[in-house]
Amino acid sequence: MLQKIIDMQKASFLLVFLLLIFKTQAQNTDSAWFVQNYTKKEVYIPMRDGVKLFTSFYIPKDEASQHPFLLTRTPYSCAPYGEDKYAPIWNSYKMEYARANYIFVTQDVRGRYMSEGVFVDVRPFILNKKRKSDIDESTDTYDAIDWMVKNITSNNGRVGVMGTSYPGFYSTEAALCGHPALKAVSPQAPVTDWFMGDDFHHNGAFFMMDAFSFYPYFGQPHPKPKMEYGKGFSTPIKDNYKFYLQAATLKNLSAMIGDSILFWHEVMQHPNYDLWWQARNARTGLYNVKPAMLWVGGLFDAEDCFGAWNCYKATKKQSPQTNNKIVMGPWYHGQWSREGSYLGNVRFGSNTSDWYQQNIEIPFFQYYLLDKGSVSNLAEANIFFTGENKWKTFTQWPPANVEYKDLIITQDGKLSFEKDRRPARLMGRNGGGLGISEYTSDPAHPVPYTDGVHEHRTREYMTDDQRFASRRPDVLTFSSDVLSGEVTLAGPVTAALVTSISTTDADFVVKIIDEFPDTFAYDFNMKGNHQNYPMGGYQMLVRGEIMRGKFRKSFEHPEAFTPNAITPVNFTMPDIAHTFKKGHRIVIQIQSTWFPLVDRNPQQFLDIYEANENDFKKADIKIFHTATNQTHFILPVISQ
């Protein structure tokens, strides 16, 4: 048996080696083909206010037919610069668009890299434009498209727009431009609302580590066009938990980052969801959307899990006539353009990214830009369900057959869909009495967001094993009995906590977890990360979210807690598409720190951006699960 396993491993390694050789040869062939069949052109396109935006075109040499445009607007550079230097389009699935003779267009947005003008982060959309100076990203897109269709020969008058992350935001704004040539748009993991759910805040809690690693280089001033931006801040301590703990406060981080990083300091001046933040919510413009829309996102996207779900829903509500579709796969940020068979230790049984590319994205653009193929198989919602590892399609999202069920914490600390009718017990499972569980949240010893020592924020934490957190006394862990059948969740989860705290503020982190059976192991042939992690008893994070307690009633007008008063804290978590298999358990964890992913709450009611080191206090936190004060979780269960 051992020899058989060794032989299988040798065969597997040989196959990988041969595939690498084949892939390299194929890429070399593709690169030669692309350079022979495409011409690169670099142009400054004038906007209506006179500012010129640097734009690169890769144009098919074939002039016998007409070709569509595929446009991406980006703050991350059109590089490489120079008409003799080609971006390696041949290294990705986008070669299929090249084989179909698309015109590839990339544009440096206003004020970035080689474009003129002043850059504004998540520039607000202007609804009623009255003057030539009333510019936003939608007007810049309109002007770019108008110039393209009038000045680039052999085009067919149709434009598609796509982009991931920040370019996803520009794709959303492109959809609002109203140009008749714009036929199809695919915002992918689009930056949407940096206070409520993307990148830098979730429910008002500051995602410090991402912001501090990003803005020292991205936010550097840019008075004139240039090709390079230079390096950002290099942390002297490579253990990020230790570095941020020693940094202590956001004021100290602001001092390290310096005075020149404008947006960081603007954020520090807007601790609440005021008009400044509300203007930077991309959903506000999603009315009368004309092009076909394909929203794409990852179920386990650590940066932008919020945008695709919520822009799809906003368009559905605010622009019901729009051809509006969504795709969500089991992906990290941008994984749909890379290998999609696994994330961290969790395996999906197939290359989900390749399936998406061949069955959804490419047919979408082919149909709307070239009248080729069909979109009859493209449902309104195309969602991959982890756990059972299957793509499913729906006519709406959440699905029509979802039933919202209360998962309660019983008085003795178990999770159950059944109402607890037993008499109160004297002692709760997590240390409290009479249906009360409690812990002490100590900002000096915050709960890490993942296990181990890391220099940078990991992307795999979104599916990481949570057993390390279960062993901490400042994390409450509640578990169901072993499931006798499948439970499939499809939609948003609402956490309805009943709590009391000994101070005037606290954060609440809720994690939905799938606990695998102790005997669980993946099939040897299922592609994974080759780490051989012990999966028996694995506590897979399915969804985690944080709520800054002072925003429990209003994000605009925060409110202090009354110490030791019983208080409800309700919040909605991003959508879930997951099946808990028979033999598994549903587990929920509650904690008050998630470090250094999220900044520490001083656990006093104050402006956290201005907090001093001596403002951070311990808080005794109780979670109530009695008959009269019942903490519960509203789960979107697909009825069988």
Dist. CA 200–CA 271, nearest whole Å = 12
- Beta carbons within 8 Å of 104's beta carbon, 6+ residues apart: 57, 58, 70, 89, 94, 97, 98
Reported as a single tens digit per residue, the pLDDT across 163-196 is 999 999 999 999 999 999 999 999 999 999 999 9
Residue 230 has pLDDT above 90, yes or no: no
- The residue written with tokens 């009611």 in the block is 605
Structure confidence at residue 132 as a pLDDT band (50, 70, 90): confident
- Nearest CA-CA partner of 396 in 483, 455, 324: 324
Structure confidence at residue 233 as a pLDDT band (50, 70, 90): confident
Q: At what angle do helices 240-247 and 208-218 cross, to 10 degrees?
A: 90
Give the other-Cβ count within 10 Å of 439's Cβ.
22
Residue 432 has pLDDT above 70, yes or no: no
Q: b vs e for 333-367, b when ≥16 Cβ sit within 10 Å of the residue's Cβ? A: bbbbbeebbbbbbbbbbbbbbeebbeebbbbbbbb
CATH of 37-188, one of 3.30.2130.10, 3.40.50.1820, 3.30.70.100, 1.10.10.10: 3.40.50.1820
**Is residue 552 a contact partner of residue 476, using CB atoms and an 8 Å limit?**
no
CATH number assigned to the domain covering 201-278: 1.10.3020.10
> What would the mean pLDDT of 17-34 be, rounded to a whole number?
68
* pLDDT for residue 15: 47
Dist. CA 62–CA 173, nearest whole Å = 31
Structure confidence at residue 407 as a pLDDT band (50, 70, 90): very high
User: Do 37-188 and 201-278 share a fold?
Assistant: no
Domain 402-638 has CATH 2.60.120.260: yes
Residue 46 has pLDDT above 60, yes or no: yes
Amino acid letter for position 378: L
Cα dihedral angle (8, 9, 11, 14), rounded to 10 degrees? 170
3-state SS class at 343: strand
> What would the mean pLDDT of 47-52 be, rounded to a whole number?
97
**Domain locations in the chain as residue ranges:** 37-188, 201-278, 402-638
* pLDDT for residue 290: 98
Q: What is the DSSP letter of 149?
A: H
* pLDDT for residue 431: 47
Mean per-residue pLDDT of the chain: 94
> What would the mean pLDDT of 490-507 be, rounded to a whole number?
98
Reported as a single tens digit per residue, the pLDDT across 530-560 is 998 999 999 999 999 999 999 999 999 999 9
* pLDDT for residue 234: 85
- pTM recorded for the entire structure: 0.94
Residue 456 has pLDDT above 90, yes or no: yes
Dist. CA 123–CA 119, nearest whole Å = 8
Read off the tokens for 14.
Answer: 């040989």
* pLDDT for residue 29: 87
* pLDDT for residue 8: 45
**Is residue 369 a contact partner of residue 100, using CB atoms and an 8 Å limit?**
no
Complete DSSP assignment for 293-313: EEEEEETT-TTTTTHHHHHHH
